[in-house]
Structure 1
Amino acid sequence: MVSKDRNQGKNQLRVGRLVKAHGLKGALKLELYTDNPERRFTPGAEFTLQVPEASPWHGKTVVVREYRVMNGNPVVFLEDVDDREGAETLVRAILWIDQDDDEVEDDAWFDHQLVGLDVVRDETIVGKVVRVEHFPAQDLLIVRSGDQDIMVPFVQAIVPTVDVRAGRVTVTPPPGLFEELPDTTDTADAGESSDSDASA
């Protein structure tokens, strides 16, 4: 699952992250955020880079020279990146691409489509999506529940269903994400004290 963003008036979709240099000819291994990499990473495809401001690539774009799968791993070659040293400067960069509103991508939504949706757990509304945060490893839905904001990983295991038309997302969070777990330490201590008192 990924969320899309509107950037400078354009619709953008996050499609991948460059995770490590591969070989000596400038190749980079990809973490894919798209269900159709063969279509996204065609030769000539241009991506906007999300990198720190200190990066030499800040504010620049990259163009795909070649995409292939090597030993089961998606790998991309980029124009003007011809050796391992150059590839290393792009590690951890996130790739975004312009996308039309009517273009369909499975399990992907624009941020504005998610913000405002009710968050439902066991058929009970537990909060509302107030914003989306984008991080290299995954996106987070920030859910306002009562007077607190809860960070919900936007992954299939925790957010199995997004129904924009119904105005809701369904969550199956792990214990403790939306409520405080009982302090088992206190319970154990109380039990030990009772045993001690009984023996005394």
Structure 2
Amino acid sequence: MQLVVGRIGRAHGVKGEVSVEVRTDEPERRLGPGAVLHTDPAARGPLTIETGRVHSGRLLLRFVGVRDRNGAEALRETLLIADVDPEELPGGADEYYDHQLMDLDVVTVDGTEVGRIIEISHLASQDLFIVERPDGTEVMIPFVEAIVTSIDLTEQRAVIDPPPGLIDDRAEIASARDAAADGAGEAAAERSGERDDA
């Protein structure tokens, strides 16, 4: 099985290093020297990592055969893909590979169906579940402990405790609009009453 573990960004310096957007919880395991990675587009690979280091909070890699800035820039936007045994599990108890989470049913803590996970989006600040709802619309669920309360791979289910507005934003907007309209109506009625009294 193949997993995307990184995306190549800009060239760094003039000796072939590139910055990498890490898309794995195990960069030391997947993106260490000697690792051989497939690429998307496939024509740019496979790539073998020669060296790696962290600089100003960013991972910098150099690949075998890439010796200058031009070669590094030619790799920009390339996805790095690792071969992973499908039976292999992540190191941490509460860690999951993307393929384990895909197609899980998402329900709230009270059992309300939300939809199913169709994509995992890895952002700099957090990961997001992209969930397709029964009506075909999509909702983004931050994959954080405060919201995703449990993952049950046996039952193929993710349980969430969403804050107000996360999955029912349209209802909240409508109710806020109704409340504003009601408030305006009451104010108009009060003004009318004041005129009648006068």
TM-score of the superposition, structure 2-length normalised? 0.73
4+ runs deviating over 6 angstroms: none
Deviation at 1:96, TM superposition (A): 1.2
The CA distance in 1 between the partners of 2:141 and 2:38, in whole Å, is 24
Higher RCO structure, 1 or 2 (CA under 8 Å, sep 6+): 1
Instruction: Indicate yes or no: 2:109 matched with 1:119.
Output: no
Superposition CA RMSD, Å: 2.9
Instruction: Indicate yes or no: 2:8 matched with 1:18.
Output: yes
The structure number with the bigger radius of gyration is 2
**What amino acid is the match of 1:122?**
V
- What's the counterpart of residue 197 of structure 1? 189
The CA distance in 2 between the partners of 1:36 and 1:191, in whole Å, is 54
Could you list the runs of 5+ residues in structure 1 that have no partner in the other structure?
1-10, 52-56
Deviation digits for residues 44-71 of structure 1, max 9, x if unmatched? Answer: 31222235xxxxx656332211111223
Give the SS at the match of 1:76: strand
- What's the counterpart of residue 47 of structure 1? 37
Give the SS at the match of 1:178: coil
Give the SS at the match of 2:65: coil
**What does 1:1-200 correspond to in 2, within 5 Å?**
11-51=1-41, 58=43, 60-105=45-90, 106=92, 107-109=95-97, 111=99, 113-129=100-116, 132-133=118-119, 137=123, 140-145=129-134, 147-153=135-141, 155-156=143-144, 158-179=147-168, 180=170, 181-183=172-174, 184-200=176-192
TM-score of the superposition, structure 1-length normalised? 0.72
Could you list the runs of 5+ residues in structure 2 that have no partner in the other structure?
193-198
Equivalent pair of 1:94/1:136 in contact (CA under 8 Å): no
Deviation at 1:164, TM superposition (A): 0.2
The CA distance in 1 between the partners of 2:190 and 2:142, in whole Å, is 50
Aligned residues between the structures: 182
Deviation at 1:40, TM superposition (A): 1.6
Equivalent pair of 1:17/1:136 in contact (CA under 8 Å): no
Structure 1 residues 116 and 177, CA gap change in structure 2 (3 angstroms): same
Task: Indicate the structure with greater strand content.
Answer: 1
The CA distance in 1 between the partners of 2:122 and 2:39, in whole Å, is 12
The CA distance in 2 between the partners of 1:26 and 1:156, in whole Å, is 36
